[in-house]
Amino acid sequence: MSVEEEVLGEAAAGPIARVLAPIRGRLIAAGLLAGLGAMLSLAPLAGVAHIAQLALGQGAAALGGDALWRVVGLSLLCLFAGMTLILAGDVVAHLADNRITGLLRLAITRRLAKVPLGWFTSRASGEVKQAMHDDIGILHSLTAHFYTTLGRSVGAVLASIVYLFAMDWRMAIASLLPFPLFFLFFARAHKASAANMESFGAGMARINNAVVEFVNGIPVVKAFGAQHKAHGSYRAAIDAFASAFTDFTRPLVSAMANANAIIAPVSVLGVVLAFGALMVGLGWIAPVDVLPFALVAPGLSSPLLMLSYITHDLNHATGAAQRVHALLQTPVLETAAGAARPADAEIRVEGLSYAYSEQEPVLSGIDFTLAPGTVTAIVGPSGAGKSTLARLLLRFFDPSAGRITLGGVDLRQLDSAELYRRIGFVLQDVRLIHASVRDNIALGRPSASQAEIEEAARTANIHERILSLPRGYDSVIGEDVQFSGGEAQRLSIARAVLLDPPVLVLDEATAAADAENEVKLQQALSAFARGRTLVVIAHRLDTVMQADQILVVDKGRLIERGRHQELLAQGGCYARLWAQGHYGKTGEAEQEGLVPQC
C-alpha cells in the first residue's frame, strides 16, 4: 500500500496519525528505546545516593568493601547501556523521518500529477510551497525528535517517581507537590495558545502568498512605478501575522514563566529540604534518607519542561499535518479502467457546460465537431469563455455537463499520457523547468534521441538559437540562458513537435512575441500544423481568415459558426467584432482599451 493510500485510508484518526501512519511502528520503537535508555541512565543518581548512605551510615570502612565497587560497576554499566539505547532510538527516529519525508514528497508529487491542470491556475503557489517544503520541514521535528524526547521524558519521570516512592512514600508525596501546580499553569498556557493556532497558521500562509505574488510581480511593478502599492500587500500580511503572533505568545509567555518558576530545580530542592527537615524533626526518617530525594526530585524539572516544549511543537506539527493531508486529498481526474483507444482524431463536443464551483456557468450548451485535418478558430469578446473551452478540450478540468470525445472515446476514459500523446498544446503561458534545453524539449518524451530533439527544434525555428548558447542543448535554463517570451514559445512548440500529436490546440501562441519572433513563430506553427486537426483561440481576427470553420462564443454560448466571408455576410457578432477591431487588428484595439464587444 502506498503512503498516499495509507494516509487517506484512516479517516477516523487525527491528522498526525494519518500522515505518520507508514512509520508509526518505527516511531513507537524509537520512543520505547529512548524511554528505556533514560531509565537506565538515572541509575548513577541512585548509586550516588546509595554510596552516600553507606558512607554516612557505616563510616569510611564501608567505602572499601565489595559493595561499593558493585554499586559503581552497576551504575556505569546502566549509564553506558542507557546511552546506547538512547542513541539507537535517535537513529531509528531519524531513519523513519528520512523515509516519511521522501514518501510524503513523492506522494504529493504523484497526487499533483493527477489533479486537473486547471487546479494550478486557481491555487496560490505559496500554499503548495508551504505544504511541500515548510510543513514537511516542521514534521521533521515531530518524527525525528518528538517521540524520542517524549520517551526519554516519560521514562525519566516514571523511573524517578517509582524510585522515590520505593525510598519513602511520605517524602515522595511531599517532593512532588510543586508539579501539579506546574501542570495547572501549563494547561492554561496550552489552551490559550491553541485558541490562536489557526490564525497563526493562516498568517503564515498569507505571508507565503504575498512573497510569491510580490516576487512574480516585480517586473510589472517596476515598469509602472507602483513599488509602494506592491509592498502594501506584503506589509499588510506581515502586520496581520505580527498581531496573530502577539495574540499567540502573550498568554503563553506569562503562563509558562509562572510554570517554570514553580518547578525550577532550586524551588523543588527547597520543598524537599523543608519537608525533609520537618520529617527528620518528627522522627519519621533519618537525615541520610533525605539525600535520595534531594538528588532525584529536582531532576524531574528538566524532563517535565521538555514535555512542555515538545507539546508546543506538537501544536505546530498538527497544523502542518493538516495542510499536508489536505494537499494529499486534492481531487484528481478520474479515468475509467480499460478504456478504448480513439479511432481517429475527430473531436466532438456535445452539450458542454462548465461552471467554476458554485458560480454562474462560464460555458453552456456548446456543440460542435472538429473534423480531422481541419483548422477551427474560436473567437469572441474578452471573457466570453474561449480559453476555458480550450482547457476543457485539453482536460485541464472536466465539464459540469455534456462530454467531449476524441475518436469516439470520452476524454474521461482516456489515460492522461494517452490523451496528451494525441492532443498537443501551445499556450500563452509557457512553463520551462530548471533543466537543460534538451530536457525541456523532451519533457513529454524523455526517450527521444538527440537527432529527434534537434529536428523538433528546427521545425520550431529555435535550433540555431540553441546552438549559439555556451553549451548548446546542454545549457541550463535559468543559469546559462534566459529565453525571451517568443523564444520560450518556440521551445514550447518544439516540445509539442516531438510528441507529434494528431490534434493541436493553440491559445494565442504568438501573444508574447515581438515582431521578429512572431514571424518565426508563425512559420514554425504553419510547418507543424500541416495535416493536423488544429484549434486556434484567436484574439486577432486577421489570423483566422483562412480557417475551415470559425466558432463565435459570447457569454458562454456558441452563437455563430461558419467561414470568414459567411460570418461577415450574416452581419452578426463576428461582423461587429471585425469592424470594431479595425478590420482585423482586434489585438491592437484591445491594447488601446477598445475591448470589442458583440
**317 shares its domain with 420:** no
Number of structural domains found in the chain: 2
Residues 138 and 269 in one domain: yes
Question: Is residue 458 domain-shared with residue 568, that is, in the same domain?
Answer: yes
Same domain, 285 and 406: no
Residues 304 and 371 in one domain: no
Residues in the chain: 598
Grid coordinates representing 170 are 511520605
- In a domain? residue 335: no
Residue 432 belongs to some domain of the structure: yes
Task: Evaluate whether residue 337 is within a structural domain.
Answer: no
- Tell me, letter by letter, the H, E, C secondary structure of 287-321: HHHHHHHHHHHHHHHHHHHHHHHHHHHHHHHHHHH
Residue 11 in any domain: the answer is yes
The answer for residues whose C-beta is within 8 angstroms of residue 597's C-beta and 6 or more apart is 381, 576, 580
Please, which residues bridge with residue 353 across strands? 401
pLDDT in tens, 372-393: 888 888 988 888 888 888 888 8
Query: How confident is the model over 310-333, as a mean pLDDT?
Result: 78
Domain ranges, residue 441? 347-591
What confidence score (pLDDT) does residue 388 get? 86
The Cα–Cα gap between 328 and 148 comes to 27
In this predicted model, which residue has the larger pLDDT, 102 or 520?
102
| pLDDT confidence of residue 356 | 76
Does residue 236 lie in a domain region? yes
CA dist list (Å): 136 to 243, 323, 578: 25, 10, 54
Residues 240, 367, single domain; the answer is no
* CA distances to 163, 275, 284, 291, 409 from 280, in Å: 20, 8, 6, 12, 92
The whole-number pLDDT of residue 277 equals 92
Is pLDDT of 581 > 90?
A: no
The stretch 321-348 carries a mean pLDDT of: 78
90-119 pLDDT, tens digit per residue, is: 999 999 999 998 888 888 888 877 777 666
Residue 142 has pLDDT above 50, yes or no: yes
Task: Give the pLDDT confidence of 119-136 residue by residue, as tens digits.
Answer: 665 555 666 777 777 788
Q: Is 368 found in the same domain as 316?
A: no
Residues 486 and 537 in one domain: yes
DSSP state of 290: G
Question: Is 172 among the domain residues?
Answer: yes
- So what's the pLDDT on residue 27? 92
pLDDT, one tens digit per residue, over 244-303 is: 777 767 766 776 777 778 888 888 999 999 999 999 888 888 888 888 898 888 988 888
Same domain, 499 and 555: yes
What does the DSSP 8-state code read for residue 361?
A: P
Q: Comparing C-alpha atoms, which of 464, 520, 514 is closest to residue 493? A: 520
| Residues forming a β-bridge with 561 | 551
Give the three-state DSSP class for 287.
Answer: helix
Single pTM value for the model: 0.63
Which CATH number covers residue 565? 3.40.50.300
475 in a domain, yes or no? Answer: yes
Looking at the predicted structure, is the pLDDT value of residue 201 above 70?
A: no
Judged on CB neighbours under 10 Å (0-12, 13-18, 19+), 377 is buried
- Determine the Cα–Cα distance for residues 270 and 291; give it in Å rounded to an integer: 13
Cell of 219: 517586473
Q: Say whether both 320 and 369 belong to one domain.
A: no
Confirm whether 597 is domain-assigned: no
pLDDT at 592 > cutoff 50: no
Q: Are residues 417 and 461 in the same domain?
A: yes
| Domain edge (last residue) among 272, 298, 328 | 328
Q: Is residue 126 domain-shared with residue 184, that is, in the same domain?
A: yes
What three-state secondary structure class fits 217?
Answer: coil
Q: How many CA atoms lie within 13 A of 524 on its CB side?
A: 31
